[in-house]
Amino acid sequence: MDYMKELNVAVTVCDKEGKILQMNEKSQKTNHGNLVGQNVFDCHPEPARTKLGELMEQHATNAYTIEKGGVKKLIYQTPWYENGEFMGLVEFSLEIPFEMPHYIRKPKIE
């Protein structure tokens, strides 16, 4: 069962050189096709290209929201690892409401 394939979140995975390894259906739809094998740096203009390079070098996470075509999205780019070794980045892109509740959860005291 490949639950990522039809997940209603765009998921794109690239290696540490930027080569796109996987895209689920939502990612392919969002990015106008299957870009597996292409380099993620070629798919982004500046300053996003520079930011991706920094994320790769620092093995860092980047999170932000965008609005495009009347749709608000949360973009979450984060490193992935295999046996503790940095292997590249995963980008999650999910549609979110313009107005969204925010809850502060307090730890359960035992």
Q: Determine the pLDDT at residue 2.
A: 79
SS3 string of 51-88? Answer: HHHHHHHHCCCEEEEEEECCEEEEEEEEEEEECCEEEE
Tens of pLDDT along the chain (110 residues)? Answer: 577 888 999 999 999 999 999 999 999 999 989 999 999 999 889 999 999 999 999 999 999 999 999 999 999 999 999 999 999 999 999 999 999 999 999 998 87
